[in-house]
Copies of this chain bind each other. A is one copy, B any other.
Amino acid sequence: MNFEDKLAVKTAETEKILESYLPEETGFAARLAEAMNYSMRAGGKRLRPLFLKEAYLLFGGEEKVCEPFMAAIEMIHTHSLIHDDLPAIDNDDLRRGKPTTHKMYGEALGVLSGDALLNFAYETAMQAFSLSEDTGRIAQALMILAEKTGIHGMLGGQSVDVMNDGKVLSREMLDYIYEHKTSRLIEAPLMIGAVLAGADEKEVKTMERIGYLTGIAFQIEDDILDITSTAEELGKPIHSDEKNHKVTYVTLRGLEGAKEDARSMTDEAMKLLDSLPVRNVFLQELLESLIGRKR
C-alpha cells in the first residue's frame, strides 16, 4: 500500500475511534451533546490522534489505552476551533464549508459546547485508567495533555495571538504564538503516545522536539500556502493574511526564507526520528507529507 492508501485506512480507523468516544445525544442536555458532536464530526485531517497512535506504535504500544487519549486530543483541538470562531474572537461563519458551531446552535451553545469538549477531553482521557493497570504512565500522559493545552501551552498562544491581532509582531512574539498555538498540540500527542508505550525520558524529549519542529514547519507551510496556492487547491480563500494585514512568517522571513526554514525544520525532525532505536515508516511519511502539502 502506498502512503495515501495507508493514510486513508488509518484516518478511517481514527474516525471510528473518535466516534466511539462521543457523548450520547440523550436527556435534557442532548442539545449540548449535539453541538459537541456536530463540530467533532465536521471532518479535518485528524492529524493529532494519528500522531498519538503512531508514536504509541513506534515505541511498541499494543493496547487500547492510547484510544481515549486520541479522542481527547481531537476534542481539545475542536474546542479551540469552536471558541476561535466565536464573534468575540475571529467571528467566522464558516469552517470547512459548513456553518460554525455558534452559527448552527447559537452563541451560548458555542461557548458551552467548547467548554464541554475541553472538559470531556479530560473525562475521556481518564477512561484510560480502566484500560490499563499502568496508572503512573496514564498520570504522566494526563499531565502532558493539561500542560500543553493550558496557559503555558495552546491557550497561552491563543491569547497572545488574539490580543495582537492586526498589530505589527516581533519575530519573538510570532515564534511564541506558533510554538504555543500550534506546536504544543503536536508535541502533546507525540509525547503521550511515547509515554503510554513506555518510552524513556530521553525518547519522550526527542518526541517533544519533533513535535515542536513539525508544528512550526506546519505553520510556516500554512503561511506559504496562503501566498502560493490557489483557492481551489487550498479549499479556502487565499491571500487572507495579506488582506487582513496579518504579520506571518513569510512577512518576517520572505517567501524563500520561509520555505528554507520549513524544510530545515522538517529535516531536523526526520533526523531525530531516525536517531531513535525504533522505526515507524508511516509516521516518517506522515511527517514528511506535511511539507510540500497542497492543503
Please give the residue numbers on chain A whose beta carbons come within 8 Å of chain B beta carbons, in ascending order.
Answer: 23, 27-29, 31-33, 36, 79, 83, 86-89, 102, 106-116, 118-120, 122-123, 126, 129, 135-136, 138-139, 142-143, 146-147, 149-152, 155-160, 162-163, 173, 176, 180
Contacts and interface: CB of A to CB of B under 8 A. Distances in A.
Given A28-B176, A29-B159, A126-B139, A151 B119 contact: yes
Contact of A156 (B29, B108, B109, B138): B29
Q: Which of A28, A151, A163, A180 lies at the interface centre, i.e. has the most chain B CB atoms within 10 A of its CB?
A: A151
A162 B150 CA distance: 26
Nearest to A173: B28
Contacts of A146: 119, 122-123, 126
Number of copies: 2
A111 B126 contact: no
The CB with the most chain B CB atoms within 10 A, among A106, A112, A138, A162, is that of A112
Given A27-B156, A33-B151, 14 more contacts: A23-B151, A29-B156, A29-B180, A83-B115, A88-B102, A88-B106, A88-B111, A89-B108, A109-B162, A113-B159, A116-B151, A120-B150, A129-B143, A135-B136
Given A116-B151, A119-B155, A123-B147, A163 B108 contact: yes
B155 A115 contact: yes
Given A112-B158, A151-B23, A159-B116, A135 B126 contact: no
A155 B32 contact: yes
Contacts of A163: 31, 108-109
Contacts of A135: 135-136, 139
Contacts of A139: 126, 129, 135, 138-139
A263 to B, nearest CB: 27
A126 B123 CA distance: 13
Nearest to A172: B28
Could you say which of A88, A126, A159 has the most chain B C-beta atoms within 10 Å of its C-beta?
Answer: A159
Nearest to A115: B155
Nearest to A129: B139
A120 to B, nearest CB: 5
A175 B29 CA distance: 13
A169 B188 CA distance: 44
A152 B124 CA distance: 13
Given A83-B115, A142-B126, A109 B159 contact: yes
A168 to B, nearest CB: 15
A107 B86 CA distance: 10
